Amino acid sequence: MSLTLLFAAGQGALDEYRAPLTDALAAEGLDATIATDAPPGSVDYIIYAPASPLQDFAPYTRTKAVLSLWAGVERIVSNPTLTQPLARMVDPSLTQGMVEYVCGHVLRYHLGMDAHIGAPPGTWVADAPPLASERRVGLLGLGALGQACAEALVALGFQVWGWSRRPKTLAGITCVHGDEGLKDILQGTEILVTLLPQTPRTENILDQGNLALLPHGARIINPGRGTLIDDDALLAALESGQVGHATLDVFRTEPLPAAHPFWHHPRVTVTPHIAAATRAASASRVIARNIARVEAGQPLLHAVARDRGY
């Protein structure tokens, strides 16, 4: 029997996804029709991105799962009409993109690259940077993305700490959790990377009090979500020198409004939510695999726990 997949992620996205998704479904041996419009009662799976106008999931009574094209699901997880299982995107290419973004910006700070790139001609200050083994990098969030970044930073030789909700044991990484763990990680971290999901519990996790725990002059890289940071507290910490520099990829309002002080701050680098994109070819394979699993009676991969919000 042919499956009906509702592609609710915007027409532009379908142009990009139609061919790789068709191939990936065929490779899994699935007979499926990809539609942008279908009677709700006929839809087996919904492929979803927040750009979609679809907000009422109640009529989709036959739908076995909603498959998000985004890793962050904060814009759908709280939808009260969503009773179907929800999977977030865990895509090897997206993960690789995040690893490259995080390692690149960590190395920029670690090596003090800006000093040389921006130095006037004739500047000759032969201050060699420390080795990675002398530098502590901390990650808030040790999920699919945080863990991959942590492992890559370990491979580069950094002292890597990571913080998660539940206790973890990961080779080469000092893992901490809970309120005490948060204090411990912040107190020793010179370069902090935030890869937490947006939930009520992570909102403003980098507030004035927690920013004050960092060593003076610490650097922050936030490719997680804008709500993790109290913007005013960060601006104050940048002014006082408590935070030496911040690289921010995600914001409370996107695109970041033209008048926002982050745009003009000399110690802030703004990147326009490009840390890690979902790539159609690999994401299509992830979606097709997940559909094949459900059709075979196996549990959905990357299922979102509604009560946790991620």
Using CB atoms, what's the residue nearest to ligand NAP? 143
Kindly tell me which of 20 and 141 has the beta carbon lying closer to ligand NAP: 141
Q: Is 225 part of the annotated catalytic residue set? A: yes
Tell me how far CA of residue 75 lies from CA of 49, 171, 255, 304, in angstroms: 9, 34, 16, 13
Q: Map residue 240 onto helix, strand or coil.
A: helix
Kindly tell me which of 69 and 132 has the beta carbon lying closer to ligand NAP: 69
Q: Catalytic one among 165, 260, 267, 273?
A: 273
Least Å from the CB of residue 274 to ligand NAP: 6
Least Å from the CB of residue 214 to ligand NAP: 17
Residues that bind ligand NAP (CB under 6 A): 71-72, 90, 94, 141-146, 163-166, 195-199, 201-202, 223-225, 249-250, 273, 275-276, 310
Least Å from the CB of residue 147 to ligand NAP: 7
Least Å from the CB of residue 14 to ligand NAP: 21
Interior angle at CA 177, CA 214 and CA 137, nearest 5: 40
Long-range pairs for 156-162 at CB < 8 Å and ≥24 separation?
A: 156/103, 156/107, 156/132, 157/131, 157/132, 157/133, 158/106, 158/110, 158/132, 158/133, 159/133, 159/134, 159/135, 160/136, 161/136, 161/137, 161/185, 161/188, 161/189, 162/138
Q: Is 260 part of the annotated catalytic residue set? A: no
Kindly tell me which of 176 and 237 has the beta carbon lying closer to ligand NAP: 176
**Active-site residue numbers?**
225, 273
